[in-house]
Structure 1
Amino acid sequence: MNYSLIRRFRMCWVPDVEGKDGLAGELSHPGKMPDMPVRYVGWLSRFAGRAAGAGQGGGRAASAGPGTGPWGLEGGRGDNVDLLILLSGPEPQRTLLERRLLDQMADYSGRVVLVRGLPAGAPATGVSATLPEGPTGASPRVNLPQRVRVYDHLPADELEELIRGAGQIICRSGYSTVMDLVRLGRRAIMVPTPGQTEQEYLGNYLAARGWAVCIDQKGFSLMDALAAAKGEWGEQGAGEGREMDIPGVRQLPDPAAGEGLLRQAVAEVLAMVRRELDAAREPEADREPGVSREP
């Protein structure tokens, strides 16, 4: 069915890199390609890119200024957050995972930021000691420890600081999330959305390459997940100079290279459109025999 939809277009852009270093495995490098031009345009991310040294043995983002960031940290960094939880995806699975995680917060003593992935609700800079009301069926209000902060959503710059600095990250294995994490040189504990086969494939594919720990939502245990991550890549504490060394990612093309690939693809499409417009405007007498006016 996907190929029948792709055939309606003249070119297929794939947000990945060409060759064996791709992030999406067979999803972006299938055995049978569409019967049209296919261009790999690199990874697309809302974030600025890896800091100098990130993913290569250390380094942090530059200071965003004192008193900024969700926790009001000195320098605005997220490096006093032990666990960052990024929720997203369709209901009711988003709420089911949220509830499961919050129910287990009593077992975890670290500082937590939970970003609910909701488009409306509390202001992005607001801090709440209770969980705001969610969709129908969610727990109406859940009392949380002061060490747990909940946001419906956050601006990209604040979210980037948290991703860079958090000790551990729990998130879905959607491809947009994957591209954002790799852009910043971070691994994560990934919990695929049940029933979304592409997320299940991506989570297991990335785990097999050492870039993630993939755990099913059913029976999810926060403490077991954190222990599995620690066993996979060691302790990731918060502190200046901590390494974010991701085996394999150092050999991947720089994410910024994707910007050049995307520009090339755009230029190619524009050139194609110009050729077709020129052909449509060409006088009939100047046309080669057998050349149709149809684009």
Structure 2
Amino acid sequence: MDVELEEVKALVKVFTPDVIISDQRFGFRHRKVKSIIISHQLHLNLPKYAFFGQWLNRKMLRKFDEVWVPDSELDLSGELSQSKIAHKRIGILSRFRQAVEAQEPKYKYLVIVSGPMPYAKDFLLEMSERLSNCEGKHALIAGLDAFDYEATKDNVEVYYQPNQEWMERLFGESEIIISRSGYSTLMDLIRLKRNAILIPTKGQNEQEYLAKHNAKRKQFTFVTEEEFKNYPL
């Protein structure tokens, strides 16, 4: 965090900004420039006895002049953004501008592989192998860091970090989306108005909460990793 603070000081000297907006980076602020943080994590999904974690999170948020929550009346974040800390909701933030019109399906399943290694790699290879035994054509989207792992099969196409145009095309040509339940992914799915099977990364409490909380929406189905092993595709 100290490194970030020093970098911001140097940037402020060069650019003299009127406002600084931080995307969930506690160190990206300056005491002499209005500093705003964007975060949905005002109340961390921690065990009830983790008082220090909650206290530290609130302390760091209060160092900013304003707190903006990327959410709307849809309440994607649920209790994660419920806090006495002053904040305002600024609506859903997504790389996509509007819903993608569904086309004649080219793929039955489109899998979005996200998250840190080695979990992303394991998910990529597992889904590639499993879909290779499913009837029809399927597609996977993964980051460039998974490029070295061969996942392409006869009926499974893999796209490594496709651009926005390709992403929209893949979403429009796919019948069912399978993805993790990270907050950014959920906002994209909401914006695109696409149905999805949500499989939270095991051990990621926030993803598990978000998947359960948003499973009340007809467009989402919540399945744990253990349940997914026997989930019919």
TM-score by length of 1: 0.55
State the distance in 1 between where 2:223 and 2:211 align: 8
State the distance in 1 between where 2:158 and 2:152 align: 11
Cα deviations by residue, 1:101-153 (Å, 9 ceiling, x for unpaired) = 1222243011111111x1357xxxxxxxxxx523xxxxxx45621x2101211
1:85-124 alignment runs, 5 A limit:
85-116=111-142, 118-119=143-144
State the distance in 2 between where 1:183 and 1:170 align: 16
Residue 22 of structure 1 aligns with which residue?
75
Identity across aligned pairs (percent)? 34
Residue 170 of structure 1, CA deviation: 0.4
1:65-80 alignment runs, 5 A limit:
79-80=105-106
Residue 225 of structure 1, CA deviation: 4.8
Give the direction of change, closer, same or farther, for the CA distance of 1:217–1:78 in structure 2 (3 Å limit).
farther
Give the direction of change, closer, same or farther, for the CA distance of 1:114–1:143 in structure 2 (3 Å limit).
closer
Residue 193 of structure 2 aligns with which residue?
185
Structure 1: segments with no counterpart, 5+ residues: 52-59, 62-76, 122-131, 135-140, 227-295
Secondary structure of 1:169's aligned partner: strand
Residue 172 of structure 1 aligns with which residue?
180
State the distance in 2 between where 1:105 and 1:39 align: 42
- The RMSD of aligned alpha carbons is 2.2
How many equivalent residue pairs?
Answer: 178
Q: Match of 1:200, as an amino acid? A: E
Structure with higher strand content: 2
Residue 88 of structure 2 aligns with which residue?
39
Check conservation: 1:82, 1:112, Cα contact below 8 A: yes
State the distance in 2 between where 1:143 and 1:188 align: 22
Check conservation: 2:99, 2:193, Cα contact below 8 A: yes
State the distance in 2 between where 1:225 and 1:16 align: 33
Check conservation: 1:97, 1:217, Cα contact below 8 A: no
Residue 144 of structure 1 aligns with which residue?
153
Residue 15 of structure 1, CA deviation: 0.3
Secondary structure of 1:213's aligned partner: strand
Q: Match of 1:33, as an amino acid? A: K
2:213 corresponds to 1:205: yes
Q: Which structure is larger by alpha-carbon Rg, 1 or 2?
A: 1
State the distance in 2 between where 1:200 and 1:44 align: 21
Give the direction of change, closer, same or farther, for the CA distance of 1:154–1:225 in structure 2 (3 Å limit).
farther
Secondary structure of 1:204's aligned partner: helix
Check conservation: 2:151, 2:158, Cα contact below 8 A: no
Residue 5 of structure 1, CA deviation: 1.1
Secondary structure of 2:157's aligned partner: strand
Secondary structure of 1:109's aligned partner: coil
State the distance in 1 between where 2:97 and 2:198 align: 22
State the distance in 1 between where 2:62 and 2:227 align: 41
Cα deviations by residue, 1:8-31 (Å, 9 ceiling, x for unpaired) = 10111000014xx31121112x1x
Check conservation: 1:168, 1:188, Cα contact below 8 A: yes
State the distance in 1 between where 2:185 and 2:232 align: 19
Structure 2: segments with no counterpart, 5+ residues: 1-55
Residue 208 of structure 1, CA deviation: 2.8
Q: Match of 1:7, as an amino acid? A: R
1:8 aligns with one of 54, 57, 63:
63
Residue 191 of structure 1, CA deviation: 0.9
